[in-house]
Structure 1
Amino acid sequence: MASDDSEITAPAAAVSKLVSMNIDDMLEAHCGEFGPWQLKHFLLTCTAWALEAFFTMVMIFADHEPVVMCGSGSTGSSCDVCRSDPGSWEWVGGPHASTVAEWGLVCGEKYKVGLVQSVFFFGCMVGAGIFGHLSDSFLGRKGSLTIACTMSSVFGCFTAFSPNYWFYGATRFFTGVSAGGIGLCAYVLATEPVGPSKRGTAGMSTFYFFSGGIALLPLIAYLFPTWRALYIASSIPSILFLVAIIPFISESPRWYLVRGKVDKAMEVMREIGKGNGREVPENVQLALDFQYSESSSNKVLVGSIVDVVRSPLTRFRLVLSVVISFLCSIVYYGLSLNVVNLGTNLYLNVALNAVAELPAFFITAVMINIFGRKPMSIVTLWFSGVFCLVGALIIQPVEAWKIVRMVCGILGIFGMAGTYNLLFIYTLELFPTVVRNAALGCATQASQMGAILAPLVVLSAGAFPFAVFGFCGILGGILAFYLPETLNRPLYDTFTGMEVGEKDQPVQV
């Protein structure tokens, strides 16, 4: 009988030694928060942000209004296209220099430039919602990123063969749908395997790739001066990404866990530990936060934006995130597109705006871990808003004042780029894994709504766009006062985990 008892109790004793941990705890204790594995995975995944920059900002060069040369040989404002006879002037660079030159999008047709740009951002808004849901559900982060990049490369190439304006608008819409999913999926996929103390800095660093893509775009546009060649050239990197990078990217262990695929999640965690020169003990098992039991570890958890709205803890957070993202996007994309109205060198201005974003990312990445997410959101929003208001006060058209307004725009981009990047990590931390991409997708959709309005604001030219951008920046900073601080708080997996973890931390309003 004694031997029988030992045979029965031995397995039970082994089971009792199992240690259940959530992903953050396992990263801290056994895998490493940001070692060589995370660095490689982060760099590969975030390359997708440069692709999104190409698909988004290519419109600055493809849809710009080229310089006009009159029959007398004069160029610029002295040659009025709207009042001159059709044969008395020509576009510098030829009729294929841009969509404006090829399809005559000037004078009474000028609104079509802003319209097609808004259509692209409308597609981004649709895509953010679609891919936000797909990446949280059966496709996962990696699968959604793969499909988004494939669609972008296909429709980007189709755009180059547009026979008319309306076909061009349709292809830009579908490119926007796919581009709206690239940054969203890449961001979550890159940051979810990172430990809690390193996640803020890693999340802030993703936008280096977006700005790097913008900085490269003027060179690509210079090498491919016609808009059709430019669209093909800016789509090829996406094809290379699918072939050379996607196969080496891992799916998020957090997605595996909430989908009930604990074994898959453990495989990735052991891979992370091995890549970092560490080892996950055999008796350690992943579990959802605050649900450390064998009965719940394989449960598939599915959430939606409806669950976010139902929860008193996340409802107000969602509203604030949506409104601030909307205002921030009007300023960021508005300042980026407004370079065509400044009367300065287009290639240089776009490059300077992109370069101005880089130190903003570095400074905010350092400061958010010192002062917190909330204070830095307020400061960067107000910094951008103040300089935009200064730019609105400059109404003299002389060359010197053009330079001053350009500097105000660069400083506005500097502040808003820091905010735009910060909002991603902030929003990610405000919601649990089970609905994180859905909530981030909702905020991204609001951001795209702001981007839809931005080209229409830019059409007015003059001081008005700067006044709008300044107002949005100041208002956004005021609203940020009502968000809770998330510095050094866990990245929760479930609503239950978040409620238990913050029961002693009252919601800040």
Structure 2
Amino acid sequence: MDQHPEKNPLLVLPTTNDETKNRTNRSLDDTIEVWLGRFSWAQFLQATLANLAWVFDAHQTFITVFTDLVPTWHCNDTSSSLCNNVCELPKEAWAWDAPPQTSVVSEWGLQCAGAVITGLPATSYFLGCLVGGLALSTFADASIGRKKMLAFSCLVMNVAAVLTAAAPNVWVYSSLRFLTGFARATIGTCALVLSTEIVGRRWRGQVGIIGFVCFTFGFLSLPGMAYFNSGSSWRYLYLWTGIPGIIYSVIVYLVAPESPRWLYVRGKIQDFVETIKTLAPPETRNTIFLDNQDQVLELDEQMDLYSALKVLISKGWALRRLLTVTWVALGIGLVYYGIPLGVGEMPLNLYLSTTLNAVSELPASLVTLLLIDKLKRRGWVAGLGVVSGVCNLGCVVFVGEELKAVQIGLEIVAFFTACTAFNILLIYTLELFPTCVRNSAVAMARQAMVVGGAISPLLVALGRENRFYSYGVFGLASVLCCLFLVSLPETLGRDLCDTIDEEESKENGNRV
């Protein structure tokens, strides 16, 4: 296969005699628009297949809500004055309300081990996400590609989940949760970028939202699976979520197409043509062939493993955009992970409260899906972030039992707006960066959200004494972070760039 893209032509587009004279001005985006601009069933099915990875991502992100819970217990002697503290009772004086194997805490006797030990598996998972995001984020932009990276990450994540079911103690369990988070770090990014790069500009917003809807359905399905597993070992829940994920990974590797944009940028021209033929509508795919004229796309030098990250740091405009979107993602991440932890303290059973948290994400995904092609990215992310921040600050002001309904209403609005803001932010981020570094940039934005998720439990714990340290900080962070978006350009309806030079030309043109 030819590895010198500068010697390869673009595809022939249907042209008139006058248009033939202007062929040399054609860009890769023009080619994608002509052949893939019309949304086909093939594109829909392949985009949906890629985005189903979000379902398994949601399972592993929230599974510890059920496997690591502290079960309820009772005293065998109800007259004892020590019945309020299980750690002060002899073992024969109390018992769990459910079989010990229903939770890692009860099975391994961690109820008195302290918050650091009981929270270690969840902390390990998010730490794995952070390390994995830094270590793996550029692989999909380099030699591996979007599809293979998606299949590999999903496979390792779910194999680790299946192995977790055999963990003999909390230390092995936490190590496997770290590995699960490490592999999980790039799944959402690869699925989002792959699905949006196989469609034209008109449809990339709607296709991107498919992943968010899949994540919500994954979150929603988990309480149901846990409910039917109640009374049984927590290990079964890891098997029920991990085994289907392994099967899915194999299907993606065998069936899903690679991104045509990535194939062209990497010089895999013949594969690029075959992928375009596979995705194009039936009435046009047989007319696609290579042009024999000397028409080329000027490409940047081939990217090695970490050159994508180097480019993002060395280019002033790229670094400014990257710092801004990661800063905004950090603020939104605090709200996204922090509010469910606070709402989880409501007097509802575990399955119902988790379901309500998941259900509140669904309207955000649907609203974004219906309106994404009309929403100006920069203004809406900033506006939603400010609204979320104001509602969080309202939760500090409206306290007391008589205002509980107002507080819950503000929490719901804050979470809804934060979810919608982050959905739009991811679409905005992939439109801000060219193909050669797009996956890395989106991965950095998602990692910043994970950092927010790692910080939010501490803030929620501090907020039990003073609500300002939880909801107050959430609100201030959301407002202050989102205001930085004023420095970025708007991307609604604009062409996707594929090379650094192309993006720099557009950036310089905007300044002029």
- Write the mapping of 1:388-399 to structure 2, written as runs, cut at 5 A: 388-393=392-397, 395-396=399-400
Residue 363 of structure 2 aligns with an amino acid whose one-letter code is: P
1:184 maps to which of 185, 189, 202? 189
Please name the residue that 1:174 is paired with: 179
Q: How many residues align?
A: 484
The C-alpha deviation readout for 1:409-466, integer Å capped at 9, x for no partner, is: 3333211111221121111111111111122222222222222223333344633433
Residue 185 of structure 2 aligns with an amino acid whose one-letter code is: G
Of 204-213 and 101-110, the range deviating more from structure 2: 101-110
Task: Tell me whether 1:279 sits opposite 2:281 in the alignment.
Answer: no
1:90 counterpart SS class: strand
2:337 maps to which of 305, 325, 333? 333
| Percent of aligned pairs with the same amino acid | 33
2:356 maps to which of 335, 344, 352? 352
Please name the residue that 1:236 is paired with: 243
8 Å CA contact 1:260, 1:297 repeated in 2: no
The C-alpha deviation readout for 1:88-128, integer Å capped at 9, x for no partner, is: 33322232222232334445612223333122111112222
1:418 maps to which of 404, 420, 424? 420
The alignment's TM-score, normalised by the length of structure 2, stands at: 0.86
2:120 counterpart SS class: helix
Cα gap change, 1:495 to 1:245, in 2 (>3 Å): closer
Cα gap change, 1:82 to 1:416, in 2 (>3 Å): farther
Runs of 5+ in structure 1 lacking a partner?
1-15
Post-superposition shift, 1:18?
10
Cα gap change, 1:280 to 1:26, in 2 (>3 Å): farther
Q: In the aligned structure 1, how far is the partner of 2:76 from the partner of 2:412?
A: 36
Please name the residue that 2:107 is paired with: 102
Please name the residue that 1:342 is paired with: 346
Runs of 5+ in structure 2 lacking a partner?
1-19
Q: In the aligned structure 1, how far is the partner of 2:483 from the partner of 2:454?
A: 23
Task: Tell me whether 1:263 sits opposite 2:270 in the alignment.
Answer: yes
Please name the residue that 2:10 is paired with: none
Post-superposition shift, 1:297?
6.9
Q: In the aligned structure 1, how far is the partner of 2:399 from the partner of 2:431?
A: 42
Residue 307 of structure 1 aligns with an amino acid whose one-letter code is: V
Runs of 4+ in structure 1 over 6 Å off: none
1:375 maps to which of 367, 372, 379? 379
Please name the residue that 1:9 is paired with: none
Cα gap change, 1:101 to 1:410, in 2 (>3 Å): farther
- Write the mapping of 1:89-488 to structure 2, written as runs, cut at 5 A: 89-106=94-111, 109-225=114-230, 226-275=233-282, 277-279=283-285, 281-282=287-288, 285=291, 293-294=295-296, 296=298, 300=302, 303-393=307-397, 395-396=399-400, 405-460=407-462, 462=464, 463=467, 464-488=469-493
Q: In the aligned structure 2, how far is the partner of 1:496 from the partner of 1:431?
A: 11
Q: In the aligned structure 2, how far is the partner of 1:124 from the partner of 1:482?
A: 29
Post-superposition shift, 1:209?
0.4
Residue 285 of structure 2 aligns with an amino acid whose one-letter code is: E
8 Å CA contact 1:114, 1:455 repeated in 2: no
2:508 counterpart SS class: coil
8 Å CA contact 2:273, 2:289 repeated in 1: no
Of 382-391 and 35-44, the range deviating more from structure 2: 382-391
Q: In the aligned structure 2, how far is the partner of 1:426 from the partner of 1:177?
A: 25
Residue 38 of structure 1 aligns with an amino acid whose one-letter code is: Q
